[in-house]
Copies of this chain bind each other. A is one copy, B any other.
Amino acid sequence: MRLINKDEINNLESRKRAALINSLIGVKAANMIGTQDQQSVHNLSLISSLFHLGASPAMFGFVIRPDSVARDTLNNLRMHPFLTINHVNSNIVKNAHQTSARYDSEVSEFDKCELESEYLNDHPAPFVKESKIKFSAKMLREIKIPENGTHILICEIIDVHLAPSTLGDDFFIDITKTDTVGVSGLDQYLDLKALGRLSYAKPKMALKWLKL
């Protein structure tokens, strides 16, 4: 095994340190966040830090760095706390990655990245039409992390929109049926293939792959 100790990490040139630490935690969900500013300019931003917070109430969180491209997203949410989350699928990987370019605030990433916006069920923020699993949300709170000035945004899920083929009778969403992709580090995209679903784990009980 190769050891990269704390001193070596601290002394790495900043691009190398960013590459290492961004790819260290494993695969991340690739999503696009849609928001709208007060002049009704759409903003769309790739985000890979979404995490599950709870099902009841239905909540999630994500991270925004103040110096990142997503700063427009943060500014918009402070004015108007509604957003959409849109899965990236293999057909729109390049379009989604392009939303991470530093466009001016008055520019809509939908136009520049050739993605179509749509409004669904009276939600005030725009969805990505090409996305096959997407949901609307409201930001509830912002938590600043003193060690590095990042913000964790805590959100509540409102409505879910998805391709019917992905939804099982048990309400599990099979993301492999819509070619949803993952991302590792800052720029590697990953295709996802189902190994299977495992039975509920209990002490002294052998696990089984579920037949679905």
Q: Which residues of A contact B (CB under 8 A)?
A: 1-6, 9, 12, 14-31, 48-63, 65, 85, 87, 90, 93-94, 97-103, 112, 120-121, 132-133, 135, 140, 143, 145, 147-148, 150, 152, 154, 156-164, 167-168, 170-176, 180-182, 184-185, 187-203, 205, 207, 210
A188 touches B197 (CB 8 A): yes
The minimal Cβ–Cβ distance linking A122 to chain B, given in whole angstroms, is 10
B185 touches A172 (CB 8 A): yes
Which of A15, A161, A191 counts the most B-chain CB atoms under 10 A from its CB?
Answer: A191
Number of copies: 2
Please give, as numbers and ranges, the residues of chain B lying within 8 Å of A65 by CB-CB distance: 54
A25 contacts which of B60, B97, B189 (Cβ < 8 Å)? B60
A121 touches B3 (CB 8 A): yes
A54 contacts which of B59, B150, B185 (Cβ < 8 Å)? B150
Which residue of chain B has its CB nearest to the CB of A156?
Answer: B147
A195 contacts which of B52, B163, B191 (Cβ < 8 Å)? B191
Q: Sample 18 A-B pairs with CB under 8 A, ordered by A number.
A: A1-B132, A1-B163, A2-B161, A6-B157, A6-B159, A9-B58, A21-B157, A25-B29, A26-B175, A49-B52, A54-B150, A59-B145, A93-B198, A103-B203, A145-B154, A147-B156, A174-B188, A193-B193
